[in-house]
Amino acid sequence: MRLFQYCGAVYREASAIPTWEDVLANHESAIKEALWNGEDEDYVTDEMYDRYEIAVYNVERGFQGDRCWRVVHLPKDVDPTTIDHIGVYWSFEEGAAEGHWNYSANKVKWTFEAVIDDLQIVDKAGSVYAYTDPLSGESEKEVTLKPNVPVRILDIEGGAGGYYWEDDLPEDDGDWTDKDWDDPSVGRWMTT
């Protein structure tokens, strides 16, 4: 399996769905940390297995046609459309998308949205590993996208240092047809 470094995370080109044994081995240190924090081992592994089954279903067929979201905080003078990669970790629940570790008063909160119109854009292995992480997976509702997936800027909070303001964003008509993805006048577009 060939690996690529991609926006702080490893993207697995083969993206095969990992086995349950692979998941346990991958999360060995996180399981130990959960146990060290006082969690019961059976509870941790049972919870992980439940999430594993959900994750496998989602990457095989459950995400098809769904939207996903990503939130990042960037300095006010950074235009996100100039960034090569906006990231691989997305949330399949809008309310679960959060920008971590980078929030401050000097930053602008950007919310991005993508449509999983083809399951080939999903990094299946990355999504399963992210969702089954015993220290964060379930609450984050994570799906991992491959590079170069079309996304749009959905929302801006805090102004954008002269690039875009919320008023610059078109109203979301809720209609995600193919014409919307090809129409540059609908939202601000970029890729993962």
In which domain, by residue range, is 59 found?
3-191
Instruction: Give the pLDDT score at 3.
Output: 31
Q: pLDDT tens digits for 14-31?
A: 468 999 999 999 999 999
Instruction: Give the pLDDT score at 15.
Output: 64
Q: pLDDT tens digits for 84-131?
A: 778 888 999 988 888 776 666 678 888 888 888 888 889 999 999 999
Question: Rounded mean pLDDT of the chain?
Answer: 76
Instruction: Give the pLDDT score at 10.
Output: 45
Distances (CA, A) of 68 to 12, 21, 64, 93: 20, 28, 11, 7
Instruction: Give the pLDDT score at 178.
Output: 44
Instruction: Give the pLDDT score at 136.
Output: 81
Instruction: Produce one character per residue of 52-69: b if its CB has 16 or more CB atoms within 10 Å, e if not.
Output: bebbbebbeebbeeebbb
Given pLDDT bands bounded at 50, 70 and 90, which one contains residue 60? very high
- With a cut of 80, say whether residue 53 has pLDDT above it: yes
Our CA angle for 111, 109, 106, nearest 5°, is: 165
* Range with lowest mean pLDDT among 66-70, 90-94, 144-148: 144-148
Given pLDDT bands bounded at 50, 70 and 90, which one contains residue 179? very low
Global pTM value: 0.74
> Structural domain tally of the chain?
1
Instruction: Give the pLDDT score at 185.
Output: 46
DSSP 112-152: EEEE--SGGGB-HHHHHHHHH-TTTHHHHTEEEBPTT-EEE
